[in-house]
Homo-oligomer: A and B are copies of this chain.
């Protein structure tokens, strides 16, 4: 263990999830851990922040090496609480967000609270890794997630690529069957939703969002969905500048 490191951990499935314990395990490999995670499930919260409500904080457990807090906010709120409150002025060596229960590949990246937190952390200049196990069941097996999480985090800490924010998705396979790591781009496609209508006991309608991902390029061998399907750990380097640089001139031509 490299005891000198300070690692921040958060997620979007709450401090009580199995994936959160797996993320703590990854982080503990490198040093001291401060974790602030939502007190309830915050899946699909993207980079949402809490502006109009108050926040409550609770200490879950505290030892010399691991401090865990819960917050009644979003994953990004947890990052802000960590970096602008608990760790203000301290050098944080890395953020591990996750391990998410379920895929954050392709367009899921944009809805993901796990990745919202990783992107927010990258804003603060901290190398950030979002880890997602594409098995979304509550009792998913996180052995491969921990194994590859440590392997990737080690190389990121040792590298000089800064800023860095990685979207890492782990296939549902035993460690020995995973083919390795593939660095990819975000697959093109989107969620096609179905709005499921039901009646409440008073006969009034209510709705559930359901649906499935439409992959617009299932055969693209440089895409993250392809890599996962083929049995690789898929890693997408993520940027926080949404400017579509390739369109700047065309848009200026019609608007300026």
Contacts and interface: CB of A to CB of B under 8 A. Distances in A.
Interface of A: 41, 43-52, 54-57, 74, 76-77, 80-81, 84-85, 107, 109-111, 113, 116, 119, 123-124, 152, 155-156, 158-159, 161, 164-167, 180-183, 185-186, 188, 190-195, 198, 204-209, 211, 235-245, 247-248, 250-252, 254-256
A256 B52 CA distance: 44
A44 B48 contact: yes
A56 B195 CA distance: 11
A48 B111 contact: yes
A44 B109 CA distance: 17
Contacts of A190: 123-124
Given A49-B44, A111-B47, A156-B254, A185 B239 contact: no
Nearest to A183: B252
B49 A47 contact: no
Contacts of A245: 185
Given A161-B254, A255-B183, A195 B242 contact: no
Nearest to A197: B85
B47 A242 contact: no
16 contacts: A54-B198, A80-B193, A81-B207, A84-B194, A85-B195, A107-B123, A107-B240, A161-B250, A183-B255, A183-B256, A185-B245, A186-B242, A186-B243, A236-B242, A238-B244, A239-B244
Contacts of A238: 242-244
Contact of A164 (B51, B124, B247): B247
A134 to B, nearest CB: 16
Contacts of A47: 46-47, 110-111
Contacts of A194: 84
B251 A237 contact: yes
Contact of A48 (B45, B164, B165): B45
Contact of A237 (B111, B240, B243): B243
A44 to B, nearest CB: 4
A111 B194 CA distance: 26
Contact of A185 (B110, B237, B243): B243
B239 A242 contact: yes
Contacts of A46: 45-49, 76, 116
Contacts of A186: 241-243
